[in-house]
Amino acid sequence: MLAGLGETGFGFAKEWLAEEVAKRPVTIIGDSPRVDILTVAWSVHYREASKEATVFTVETVKIPTASIDHLIASKRTGRLQDAADIEVLEEIKRLRGGEAR
């Protein structure tokens, strides 16, 4: 994450150590742009989710994202918007050939 931010030309990412960011549930970097790094999303922890992450490349910048199962788990908060997001994520999973819950 920090390496990707550094590649975008925003030097503020170089001021942080990945080990320090991983220890905190939330790290906020910069003002404009402001980047919020969440290492805990409801019940999903970064160390667990990173093992199954999917990496997308956008204009030569690699962006790791949580697996669809971890995204669904992170949305189990009881909030209405998260419930709606779960429906969409489960449909995406079903269309990809996985089982929807």
User: What are the residue boundaries of the structural domains of the chain, listed by start?
Assistant: 1-38, 43-101
Q: Rounded to an integer, what distance in angstroms lies between the CA atom of residue 16 and that of residue 12?
A: 8
| CA-wise closest residue to 49 among 86, 19, 22 | 22
- pTM tops 0.85, yes or no: no
pLDDT of residue 12: 67
- Across residues 15-38, what is the average pLDDT? 77
pLDDT tens-digit series, residues 44-75: 888 888 899 989 898 898 888 899 999 999 88
pLDDT tens-digit series, residues 12-22: 667 777 788 87
CA end-to-end distance (rounded Å), the chain: 31
